[in-house]
Amino acid sequence: MREPESLNLAHGRLAALAWGDADAPVWLALHGWLDNAESFSRLAPLLVERLGIRIVAIDFPGHGRSLPRAEGGDYPIWEYTLDVLDALDALGLDSAPLLAHSMGAAVSCLVAAAMPERVERLVLLDGLGTLTTEVDDTAKQLRMGLIQRRRSRSTVPRYPDEATAIAARVAGGVTPIDTDTATPLVRRNLDVEDDGHVRLRSDGRLLRPSLVRFTTEQMLSLLNNIEAPVLLIEGEQGILAERAYAQRARDAIARLTRVLLPGGHHLHLEAHAVDAVAEAIIADSNETTRRHV
């Protein structure tokens, strides 16, 4: 298997990994919160080979090898939409399919709703829409965000070695993840220091609660404005399943195909689940091609 090509986009602000031939049709891949472009390191080679495409996966700012936001900056979910547009522009793409996981799926939904001319289709991996806050909780959400921003920024975690850093991700992840799945994500997110210790590259500001979130009604309205076809692949042990909001979100999208597969939130990176994810995407892509012939 060929190693991915390392890229720098948007005047060096965004790091990326690319799989596939440089002249093949490009899909832009968007990772989840606290992950990075290595999120697609098992899925991308399968899709590239079978579909004859090129997949470019960016590291969002503050993640992986990309630069953090400027001092005084922040990480509201809608700010990432500009990073997606910058990446498309840097790649010379008027539009492209978006392959997106978790937070990346949320960002891709916002781009597709607001800028439909830039999005050809969405392939969403265990993510749909953004986190929301109910109207009556607006002040509470703002208070949490303000209090966190008035505190000193926490130091970036430092570990004696890579194995300890990986173990910490497995033990402290927001969603369950095993060592094999966590390893590529953690490796791309480490800097090795002079004494041999390793330090996470993630910007500590990513851990602060949002000052403001979309309400459920706003998010459903945005989803209702998505014109592109959507393939939603969910893990049976993922974060969506039969939750009431997830069902409302699915119902809001006009052209949605849902596939439920064995696996967790990172099913596209799980060794036992990735082949089935790839087959679902390939089957949907082939069906899309047949409909347009």
Reading the chain (293 residues) residue by residue, the pLDDT tens digits are 679 999 999 999 999 999 999 999 999 999 999 999 999 999 999 999 999 999 999 999 999 999 999 998 999 999 999 999 999 999 999 999 999 999 999 999 999 999 999 999 999 999 999 999 999 999 999 999 999 999 987 788 999 999 999 999 999 988 999 999 999 999 999 999 999 999 999 999 999 999 999 999 999 999 999 999 999 999 999 999 878 899 999 999 999 999 999 999 999 999 999 999 999 999 999 988 777 65
In contact, 146 and 138? CB cutoff 8 Å: no
Task: Identify the active-site residue in 41, 66, 102, 285.
Answer: 102
| pLDDT score recorded for residue 76 | 97
108 is catalytic: no
Global pTM reads: 0.97
In contact, 60 and 29? CB cutoff 8 Å: no
Q: Would you mind telling me the total number of residues written for the chain in this entry? A: 293
